[in-house]
Amino acid sequence: MIPNLLEGVRVLAVEQFGAGPFGTLHLADLGAEVIKIEDPKAGGDVARSVPPYTISDDSLYFQSFNRNKRSLTLDLKHPDGARVFHELVAQSDAVFNNLRGDQPQKLGLLYAQLKAANPKIVCCSLSGFGLDGPRQAEPAYDYLMQAYAGWMSLTGDPAGPPTKSGLSVVDYAGGVMAMLGLVSGLLRARQTGQGCDIDVSLLDTAVSMLSYVAIWALNRPFQPQRLPDSAHPTLVPAQAFQTKDGYLVIFCAKEKFWRALTEALDAPELVDDPRFGSFAARYRHRDYLIADLKRRFLTRTTAGWLARLRGNVPCAPVNSLAEALVDEQVLARNMVMEVEHPEFGVLRQVSTAINQPGGLKPARPGPSLGADTEEILQSRLGYSQQAIDQLRQRGAI
């Protein structure tokens, strides 16, 4: 059997809520042993109680981020808890946290604090604002990052208020960015024998994703504007159009796609019109062209247009969530998986987007709080039942 890509890698994850667990979920899916360190005094990861679908110490929200992981309850502020943690660090490859920027130092999660236990340990921190800077100690969430980084000013109808994305895109991108840093650190540690700190912030991630609009704004007198119908700022036509029964997105990113669109519209007069003969010309005459195209797209259903356009013009239906999850391409790529949960039953959930040789192993549900505490202490550290009971009596686990 082909081993998973990260088979044999052990990560201690002091994580909570969405951004960090989303990142380590991919490590777990790729075969790494991800041990969630959960504070017993706080009731573990706060995601366990996120509504609307909850049971005791668990929720569907928690399950979406935590399959294939293990749970160890450990109070890192307790002297015995810190000692156990250092013993685990000695046998691990990485320590990950997604705490507030001032917390890793306070909890002893940085490389300088852990290298004595394991000089090869990679310590990755994902915080809202980073491990330094004037807002280091402030709490941060995806919604705030979309506001801080200017995303909301770019999103939404021009007649409406600034708008956030319908998903926590900064959280998810920050989680993936942190995992790229963590795995890069692991590669270097294996080459050099020396670990390091990896510092990723949600704000840095969001700002980095401004990409081309940032270079326009930093180097030219570019003033971004929100456009109707989710239109692209410069490419025309590239936006949503209403059809007889829904909405359709068209994205003519090349001249050949524009010509193919005019053929599908049975509108040779458009391709011959000098006002629309190039990207720059269509941009200058956007208002007239879009008004014309809107009238044309209203003449057929979304399915009717897809039959004409697919394979020739980049296009997509604006699916509902339910429609997206049964899309034939999504199902063909096995992006919906099943996980057997002891209380929720069979849970259907989305899979990781990374395909690996041999495919994914059968998935385990997200662990119950502290489900693996005794087994980890016994098998990894050689603790006796008596020693474990003492740690529990002292409040360390």
The CATH number corresponding to 10-208+331-394 among 3.10.129.10, 3.40.50.970, 3.40.50.10540, 3.40.50.1970 equals 3.40.50.10540
Side-chain-side CA neighbours of 396 within 13 Å: the count stands at: 17
User: What does the pLDDT read at residue 261?
Assistant: 98
Contact 337, 350 (CB under 8 A): yes
Q: Could you give the 3-state DSSP secondary structure of residue 147?
A: helix
Q: Which helix (H) or strand (E) holds 105?
A: helix 103-107
> Taking the model in full, what pTM does it have?
0.95
Which of the residues 39, 93, 171, 199 is marked catalytic? 171
Task: Report whether the peptide linkage leading into residue 224 is cis, meaning its omega lies within 30 degrees of zero.
Answer: no
Architecture of domain 228-318: 2-Layer Sandwich (3.30)
H helices of 193-301, where? Answer: 202-208, 211-219, 255-264, 268-272, 279-284, 286-297
DSSP single-letter state for residue 122: E
pLDDT in tens, the chain (397 residues): 788 999 999 999 999 999 999 999 999 999 999 999 999 999 999 999 999 999 999 999 999 999 999 999 999 999 999 999 999 999 999 999 999 999 999 999 999 999 999 999 999 999 999 999 999 999 999 999 999 999 999 999 999 999 999 999 999 999 999 999 999 999 999 999 999 999 999 999 999 999 999 999 999 999 999 999 999 999 999 999 999 999 999 999 999 999 999 999 999 999 989 999 999 999 999 999 999 999 999 999 999 999 999 999 999 999 999 999 999 999 999 999 999 999 999 999 999 999 998 888 789 999 999 999 999 999 999 999 999 999 999 999 9
Known active-site residue 142: no
The one-letter amino acid at 55: I
Q: Which residue has the tokens 């946290």?
A: 97
Delimiting residues of CATH 3.40.50.10540 domain(s) in the chain: 10-208+331-394
Delimiting residues of CATH 3.30.1540.10 domain(s) in the chain: 228-318
Binning the chain into helix, strand and coil, the percentages to the nearest 5 are: 45, 15, 40
- Pairwise CA distance, residues 76 & 89, whole Å: 13
User: What does the pLDDT read at residue 362?
Assistant: 85
